[in-house]
Amino acid sequence: MSKMMISRRAFTGGALAAAAAGLTIRFPVATAQEAPKLKGMLATNPKLNGWVKIGPDGAITVFTGRVELGQGVRTAMLQIAADELDVAIDRLTLVSGDTALTPDEGQTAGSQSIHYGGEALGHACADARATLMAAAATAWSSSVDQLTVENGIIKGPNGRAMPYGEAARAVNLVRDVDPTAKRKSQKDYSVIGTSVKRVDIPDKVFGRPTFIQDMRPEGMLFGAVARPPAYGAKLTSAALDVTRAYPAVVKTVVDGSFIGVIGTREEQVRAAAAAIAKASQWTLPGALFGGKPIFDYLKSAADDNKVVHNVGDVAAAQGRAIKASYQRAFQSHASIGASCALAVMQGDELTVWSHTQGVFPLRRELSAALKMAPEKVRVIHAQGSGCYGHNGADDVALDAALLARAVPGRPVRVLWTHEEEMTWEPYSSAMETELQAVLDAEGKVSAWSHTVWSLTHNSRPGSSKEGNNLLSAWYLAEPLPVPKRVNAPLPNGAADRNAVPQGYAFPNQKVTVNHHSVSPIRTSALRTLGAYMNVFSAECFLDEVAAAAGKDPVSFRLAHFADPRLAAVTRKAVEMAGWTPRPAGPRQLSGVVTGTGIAVSRYKNSEAYLAIVATVEVDTKTGDITPISMHCAVDVGHAVSPDGVINQVEGGIIQSTSQTLLEGAKYDDKLITSNSYGSYPIIGFDIAPKVEVAIVQQAGLPPVGAGEASQGPTAAALGNAVADAIGKRVRTIPLTPRNVLEAIRA
């Protein structure tokens, strides 16, 4: 790593660092109101040694509460720490997601890891480096301006050198982070902003044990749960005798309506659990949604109805009114690897390994369900197959814990079946939206309203003050209640995420949300929450409004943007795609037709900017849609890891393409019934589009999250491309052949 001069600003900004090094520095006395305070993740995790430790041997360990879900966060955090500490990445050990060791950063979600977690870790590492350099300056009676750092060795005048380990022996890092410590300026970075090799990839490529499903501790037993025949069903009689047919079963656990089986062979344990479930007696609840179609239920039973955004006077706007409604089916995470957990009870202490996205929130929910003190429960993150949202990872952790408690000292592994995952995990809510715009005499939007009907998008552990969000906690003899659901407030929102058209200069705006605090089907977070549907709706509707105005969709957007960064990514995407301004009007509907569509968004109105142009082919006889290409431009501020950003955006495009074209759950009056890839298909290599992503780099601006930026725009670009191809609008996700043919024939 190249030498890096340390500015006086970086040194004098670390008052606590200087004091720890034995220096006397006098500053003007500040009042309590003027005193700087720690912000963000540092405010709740203030201890410096909670973020970085440097041993007397020079070993450096950095800690983060953010966990690896396949998004490359471990690599990015190492890049941040390496640059701020001036050491090579391979000298760092990173610990993430362990309630006994790491900061409590809540959930790894919302594209916030780099924005908030990276800022906190970078600040702590900058403070540590300033502290160590101050120690060397004191020892040498030198000025920090005369010092450099090269791969963890402080170098000074006359050939002097002091390794970090030696400097660490002279300072105290067991203290609060100094809020005045200064990070490097972006021009001084040598690792941040470069594409380094992902640290998590080699083990995965070469098939080494990496995932929680690979863990096989000595003495491990297998566990499985006998699931009820319907959501909310209650056990009246447990048929435990059927386990006699399975000699590998060593114990059954019955706690209220929870039935678990433990044994030495996984296939027998699963078979025994299924046999118990089938032979037992259950009391069944009423039909889902009161027997109503889901969209009727959404619009008739919402109990939390409010205007969440109101600018100007939508009702008073004069001009031509355009109106449209859009619908979206329930959608699953459909993880390729089903949820898994491992737990062991040693004395009065429980350790759980989980691919949860939040080890601390999970610990709180486990502690409540098990009636244990939180300090007696340790949750350690182990990588799973990925999900980007709230799938069954947390639920299976409680399953494993309940069974491990019954066999103290023996680790118990519970791996859900794929069918169990697809039936019992939290789904992303079905939604309906209704949009209305008014065009003035000049053909510009003078009013815009966006109305949402939705179930909850967040029932994660830790999201509710009362009750419990873990599945099996609701079935215990002393059950914890299912919490009432609350829609997260703007600006982030949940059901209404990205419903506010902040990036557009519409003078009159109104957003209304109709939210359900109770739902018969369990729903929670899936990548982007409500933003996927809201961006699909808004950007498809904007195309409809542009057509009504007789305008090209790109030029219409450019004329309405209120944010130049949205315009920049739009221009880049259409340049990449070779966009040709289109005439308005119907298409010739015969054979296979081609269409292009554009969509633009800034995720959460606070994270990454993204524009995408989709090209599709539509078979007008069968209704089949084939995505051909996706040209995308993204702006994440100053990208920490450009290759990581591109990887995240590409993955989001492919996942969103799958959701938009293929994915919609089916259910009967009791349960989700689409519990296999046959009944709930996901995208395959045969129809995956060509994807090209370009980063619009914004040097000097802070980095923001990229992981969820492409989800909504991809859906809308596909919807607009299909409309361009067939001259008709398909307003229901997924855009199935049936829906396409119905639109053509309408």
What would the pLDDT profile of 393-425 be if each residue is shown by its tens digit?
A: 999 999 999 999 999 999 999 999 999 999 999
* Stretch among 25-29, 184-188, 323-327 having the lowest mean pLDDT: 25-29
Which of the four pLDDT bands, split at 50, 70 and 90, describes residue 110?
confident
For domain 431-457+494-745, which CATH number applies: 3.30.365.10, 3.40.50.1820, 3.30.1780.10, 3.30.2290.10?
3.30.365.10
| Mean pLDDT computed over every residue of the chain | 92
* Stretch among 359-363, 386-390, 566-570, 739-743 having the lowest mean pLDDT: 386-390
168 Cβ neighbours under 8 A, 6+ residues apart: 54, 55, 56, 58, 132
Both structure tokens of 643: 């290759």
| pLDDT at position 339 over 60 | yes
Return the HEC string of 97-144. CECCCCCCCCCCCCCCHHHHHHHHHHHHHHHHHHHHHHHHHHHCCCCH
Percent of the chain with pLDDT strictly greater than 70: 95
* Stretch among 104-108, 498-502, 669-673, 725-729 having the lowest mean pLDDT: 104-108
* Peptide bond preceding 491 in cis form (omega within 30 of 0): yes
| pLDDT at position 78 over 70 | yes
Which of the four pLDDT bands, split at 50, 70 and 90, describes residue 3?
very low
Percent of the chain with pLDDT strictly greater than 90: 82
What does the pLDDT read at residue 179? Answer: 93
What does the pLDDT read at residue 8? Answer: 25
Question: What's the rounded mean pLDDT across residues 386-395?
Answer: 91
What does the pLDDT read at residue 393? Answer: 96
For domain 4-201, which CATH number applies: 3.60.15.10, 3.30.365.10, 3.40.50.720, 1.10.3720.10?
3.30.365.10
Q: Which fold has domain 214-284+333-424?
A: Aldehyde Oxidoreductase; domain 4 (3.30.365)
Greater pLDDT, 430 or 583? 430
Question: What's the rounded mean pLDDT across residues 265-293?
Answer: 96
Strands (E), 278-319: 281-283, 304-311
What does the pLDDT read at residue 515? Answer: 97
Q: How far is Cα 604 from Cα 610, in angstroms, rounded to an integer?
A: 12
Q: 711-726 and 737-745 are packed helices; what angle lies between their axes, rounded to 10 degrees?
A: 40
Question: What's the rounded mean pLDDT across residues 597-620?
Answer: 97
Which of the four pLDDT bands, split at 50, 70 and 90, describes residue 546?
very high
Which of the four pLDDT bands, split at 50, 70 and 90, describes residue 707?
confident
Which of the four pLDDT bands, split at 50, 70 and 90, describes residue 111?
confident
What does the pLDDT read at residue 29? Answer: 41
377 half-sphere exposure, CB direction, 13 A CA radius: 27
Cβ contact 528:428 at 8 Å: no
Name the residue among 709, 495, 707 with its Cα closest to residue 66: 707
DSSP symbol at 395:
H
Greater pLDDT, 190 or 1? 190
* Stretch among 13-27, 103-117, 320-334 having the lowest mean pLDDT: 13-27
Global pTM exceeds 0.85: yes
What does the pLDDT read at residue 584? Answer: 57
Question: What's the rounded mean pLDDT across residues 715-734?
Answer: 97
| pLDDT at position 676 over 70 | yes
Name the residue among 326, 327, 333 with its Cα closest to residue 525: 333
Burial (CB < 10 A; 0-12, 13-18, 19+), residue 12, is middle
Greater pLDDT, 195 or 579? 579
336 Cβ neighbours under 8 A, 6+ residues apart: 385
Which of the four pLDDT bands, split at 50, 70 and 90, describes residue 186?
confident
Name the residue among 218, 275, 269, 273 with its Cα closest to residue 248: 269
Which of the four pLDDT bands, split at 50, 70 and 90, describes residue 162?
very high
Which of the four pLDDT bands, split at 50, 70 and 90, describes residue 586?
low
Q: How is the chain split into domains, by residue range?
A: 4-201, 214-284+333-424, 431-457+494-745
What does the pLDDT read at residue 585? Answer: 59
What does the pLDDT read at residue 387? Answer: 80
What does the pLDDT read at residue 591? Answer: 92
